A and B are shown apart, each in its own frame.
Chain A
Amino acid sequence: GAVVSQHPSWVICKSGTSVKIECRSLDFQATTMFWYRQFPKQSLMLMATSNEGSKATYEQGVEKDKFLINHASLTLSTLTVTSAHPEDSSFYICSASNLEGDYNEQFFGPGTRLTVL
C-alpha cells in the first residue's frame, strides 16, 4: 500500500515559537493532502485540505494565519504552527490521496505529537 511519512514524529517547543511539520507521500503522487488534529480521547478533526499548487481550504474555526499550509509538490505538504501556545498541543495527522484507483482512499501518516510548554 501507499506510504505516507511525517516528520518529526514528536516535538516539544516553547510557547511563542513556530513549528513545522512535514508530510510526504513516498511512493505515489498525492494530488490532495489533508491535515487533521486530534485531541486526547476525541475524534479526528479536519483542519484543512490542500491541493498541489493552490491555497489550502481551511475548515471553519481553523485560523489560516496560525496554521500555515504549503503544498508545493505532489509529494510534500507542510503545516507550520505559528506562535504556538499550550492549547495547540495535540496530535497532528496528515493524509494523502490521489484520484486514481477505485476510490479516493486516504493514506495516513504516522502523526506528529506536538507539546507546547
Chain B
Amino acid sequence: GQNIDQPTEMTATEGAIVQINCTYQTSGFNGLFWYQQHAGEAPTFLSYNVLDGLEEKGRFSSFLSRSKGYSYLLLKELQMKDSASYLCAVQDSNYQLIWGAGTKLIIKP
C-alpha cells in the first residue's frame, strides 16, 4: 500500500529552527511536495523536490533522499505566523498526490 508518515504535532520557539520529517512508501515517485495549511484554509504550496538534495527558498528549505524514501522541511527564524499544519504529499506514478496526515506546528513566544 501507499503510506506517508509525518509527526502529528511539533512545538518550537519563535526565532528558532524546526525540522519536520516525512517518510514515504508509494507506487512510483514523481516528486514530493510540501504545503502549508492554516486552519480553515486551503493548502498553499511551499516546495517541490524530485531530485535528491536540498532546495532552499528563503526561510524554508526542503530536502529529499529518494533512496531512503525521506524528506524534511526546515523552517528557520520561526515567526508566530508559521503556526500551521505542514502537509507532505508524494506524486505517484499516475501523478496523483498521496497526502500525509499533516504536522501541526505550534510556535511559542
- Chain B contact surface mostly: loop
1/0 contact string of A37-57 vs chain B (CB within 8 Å): 000001111100100000000
A108 touches B43 (CB 8 A): yes
Q: Does A8 contact B (CB under 8 A)?
A: no
Cα distance A46–B27 when bound, in Å? 17
In the complex, residue of chain B having the shortest beta-carbon distance to the beta carbon of A111: B42
Q: Does A91 contact B (CB under 8 A)?
A: yes
**Known pairs A103-B91, A108-B43. 14 more at Cβ < 8 A?**
A42-B101, A43-B101, A45-B99, A46-B99, A93-B42, A97-B95, A103-B30, A103-B50, A104-B30, A105-B45, A105-B48, A108-B44, A110-B42, A111-B42
* Chain A interface (Cβ < 8 Å from any Cβ of B): 1, 34, 42-46, 49, 91, 93, 97, 103-111, 113
Closest 4 CB pairs of A and B: A43-B101, A108-B42, A111-B42, A104-B95
